[in-house]
Amino acid sequence: MSTTSTGAPLRTAMPSELRHKGAYRRLMARIGWGFSAPALIVIAAVTIFPVVFSVVMSFGNVNVLGSGFQIDGFTLSNYGIVFTSPLWQYALLFTVGYTVVTVIVELVLGTLIALVLEKLGAARGWMMAMLLVPWSLITVISATLWDYIYDPTYGAADAIFQALGLGSPVILGSPVSAIIAMMIADIWKTTPFVAIIVLAGLVMLPKDVFEAAEMDGSSGWKTFWRVTLPLLRPTIALAVLFRILQAFGVFDLPFVLTGGGPQNSTTSLAMLGYQVMFTDLKFGPGAAVAVTTAALVVIGCLVFLKVFRSQVSENEGD
């Protein structure tokens, strides 16, 4: 009897406590949503709304008026104009090639720099601070700096070519040299970003694995390919993903250095969208260029992540 009498209040109290805890959680959730609401509204206003409006505009008959523009009905002709345009096709090839080349070079150089920094002791902090200087510069400022370097009259590159007996080539005046010059400027700026990410991954790797490889007599080269690189795959994937997002939307460098020239040779998709929308005032096709660019970035990132996950799963299965 005593056990029953003492146990009954406990059995009736537990649902009450659970109800109080559930009410408390709901109250805290409401408070959290209340505090987050202003930030969510701002994000929706500056991010989600422009994206949705761009998609709507890309399917619209946009007429430019003296007071602005208006959308009269919907059509697919904007995408037809974009897909059949030779300039869009070239901009797509250029952007893809630019992204592939710069990301690969930056990944190789960044990994090498990270391996060197990982071996440093007290000097690592100073070296990291120096590396972050190019990355910390605003892209427009960095592009302006390289514009001075490439200047055919007083640029440092012109002085180097003259010292080597190569004359005074106009670097930004021909398509091939302009593309290479723009890639060099991008690689100089963003390689430190890749190096810092890879270095963070190197520091977090377990040391016992390398000690075991050293005890087995593995050389430094074999250790890198068979131990370090496989363990760094998640970090490298993160760096590559960020760089693809940045490189595919390149705009600042061609805008400052070449304006998309010479002969449209450095016209990226972002640059083309700007020219069509704000120079030619063709808002419908310009929005279609922007939407297709965003769609290609999303598809490329999803494919990359799927391939990366499948490789990780195969390695774990092995």
- In tens, the pLDDT along 120-135 reads 767 777 777 788 888 8
Is 173 within 8 Å of 262 (Cβ atoms)? yes
Structure tokens at 256: 């400052």
Task: Give the residue from 86, 93, 119 showing the smallest Cα distance to 203.
Answer: 119
User: Between residues 87 and 153, which one has the greater pLDDT?
Assistant: 87
Instruction: Share the mean pLDDT of the chain.
Output: 82
Are 134 and 219 in contact, with CB atoms under 8 Å apart?
Answer: no
- 236 C-beta neighbours (distance < 10 Å), count: 18
Q: Which two tokens stand for residue 318?
A: 């092995």
Model confidence band, residue 4 (pLDDT cutoffs 50, 70, 90): very low
Containing 70, the helix (H) or strand (E) segment is: strand 68-74
Rounded to a whole number of angstroms, the distance between the first and last alpha carbons of the chain is 62
Q: How far apart are CA 268 and CA 263, in angstroms?
A: 13
Q: What is the pLDDT of residue 6?
A: 47
Find all residues with CB under 8 Å of 58, minimum gap 6, and list them: 78, 79, 284, 287, 288, 290, 291
User: Distance between CA atoms of 292 and 270, rounded to whole angstroms?
Assistant: 10
Mean pLDDT value across residues 276-299: 88
Q: Could you give the 3-state DSSP secondary structure of residue 259?
A: coil
pLDDT digits (tens, 9 = 90+) for 215-259: 766 766 777 787 778 888 888 888 888 888 888 888 989 999 998
**Distance (Å, whole) CA 114 – CA 106:** 12
Q: Does the pLDDT value for residue 99 go beyond 50?
A: yes
Q: Return left, alpha or beta for 103; rule: phi > 0 is left, psi -120 to 50 is alpha, else beta.
A: alpha
Q: Contacts for 212-219 with beta carbons within 8 Å, 24 or more apart?
A: none
> For 157-211, how does the pLDDT look when each residue is reduced to its tens digit (9 = 90+)?
888 888 888 777 888 888 999 999 999 999 999 999 999 999 888 888 877 777 6
- Residue 85 and residue 89: Cα distance in Å, rounded? 6
Cα–Cα distance measured from residue 222 to residue 25, given in angstroms and rounded to the nearest whole number: 53
pLDDT at position 303: 82
